[in-house]
Amino acid sequence: MNLPNIIRPEHTFIGVSAPTKWRALQTIADKAAKAFSVDGQTILKALEAREKLGSTGIGNGIAIPHAAIDGMTNPRGLLLRFAQPLDFEAIDDIPTDIAFVLLFGENNRGEYLNVLSAIARRLQSDGALAAMRKARTVDEFYSDFIADSRV
């Protein structure tokens, strides 16, 4: 799985302000709409519908909001670090500071699971998350996520 083809440097953000999970989803939808030329309300409704099924906060300060979006042909994503951790209703009750957003077409559900698996493998290293949390710039943040090796 080639994550740089799905989450690109220009779709990476740090210091994103959102007081609540629902405002975070709105901000994510706005950023995704601009990045992928898809209607923001369509994205927001899909993300909210998925979140109502159960939190995408997977724990350890990480959330992976995701949804199928009509018209998308390839999985695409955003990488965000929030200005302040927020309650994403994660399974471990740890506030979320990093979100990986995945959007995919109805026909890409199998590929989406591969992307989730690739992200999970990247995050297994505590060093990766620590580096991402300490990154001062968007470039550092993205590079710390994409890097193939950890010190």
- The single-letter DSSP state of residue 138 is H
Residue 151 to residue 149: CA distance in whole angstroms: 7
Buried b / exposed e along 58-83 (16+ C-beta atoms within 10 A): beebbbbbbbbbeebeebbbbbbbbe
Q: Which of 66, 76, 81, 122 is catalytic?
A: 66
Which residue is associated with the tokens 């939190």? 55
Residue 145 to residue 151: CA distance in whole angstroms: 13
Contact 5, 20 (CB under 8 A): no
The DSSP-derived string for 9-44 is EEEEEEEE--SSHHHHHHHHHHHHHHHHT--HHHHH
Residue 82 to residue 99: CA distance in whole angstroms: 8
Active-site residue, 11 included: no
Where in the sequence numbering do the catalytic residues fall?
66
